[in-house]
Amino acid sequence: MTRPSFDMVFLYLGAAILVSAFVVSSISKEAFFTWFGAEDSLIENFTAIGLACAGAVLIARILRDRRHVTGAVLALGLLYGLAYIWAAGEEISWGQRILGFDSPEYFQQNNDQQEFTFHNLTIGDVRLDESLFGPVLSTIILSYLLLLPLLWLNLDWVRRLTRAMVIPVPQLHHAGFALFVTAAIPFLEESRRWEVYECIFALLSMAIFLYPANPLHQSADKA
């Protein structure tokens, strides 16, 4: 399969998950809460796998060009990939429930869910999930998905910056898909609807990283 084909596969998967979420919710809200969007559900595990695979794609992308980039650029590319792999680990509490180990005492006392995750920590009076990993991260992600593609098309300095920082830029259809999902998800009247949103974001990330608007190689979209 070509990169554009993989791109569409992941977008179709994301759309299918969104539709499935609305269908399950309309049939049984209890089923949605206890099965579809629950902790350790298929959706949550699918999200973790998607994030980890997206991180692996980013790392492979930069390692493929390691002889043609500076050390700083290589480090940036690796950092992007590791950030996604870190997010995948956080999604499943680093396998805590799978492996059955207890949270360290610090996490039991300072984590909203008493789990081995960093994004749910409370440091002093600051809850990281509300102050950093909530509005701040959401703003950054939406700006990346919706604003960056338009700026990249119209501003030379943005194209230079993304090239220098090896940032894979979403294509316009990626931005359109992200806008549609962002507009639709609030209509899913479930407290755990954001689990669905995260899963779709992981799939969208895979689509973008495999078929960005700015491939490192001009022939990449034909691979």
Q: How far apart are CA 173 and CA 50, in angstroms?
A: 20
pTM of the model: 0.87
List of residues 6+ apart from 35 with CB closer than 8 A: 24, 41
Q: How confident is the model at residue 130 (pLDDT cuts 50, 70, 90)?
A: low
Share the mean pLDDT of the chain. Answer: 87
What per-residue confidence (pLDDT) applies to 128? 72
**pLDDT at 211 (0 to 100):** 93
Whether residue 135 is predicted with pLDDT greater than 80 in this model: the reply is: no
pLDDT tens-place string over residues 42-82: 898 899 999 999 999 999 999 988 888 888 889 999 999 99
**pLDDT tens-digit series, residues 157-186:** 999 999 999 999 999 999 999 999 999 999
Q: What is the mean pLDDT of residues 82-90?
A: 92
CA distances to 38, 93, 173, 178, 186 from 204, in Å: 21, 22, 11, 8, 18
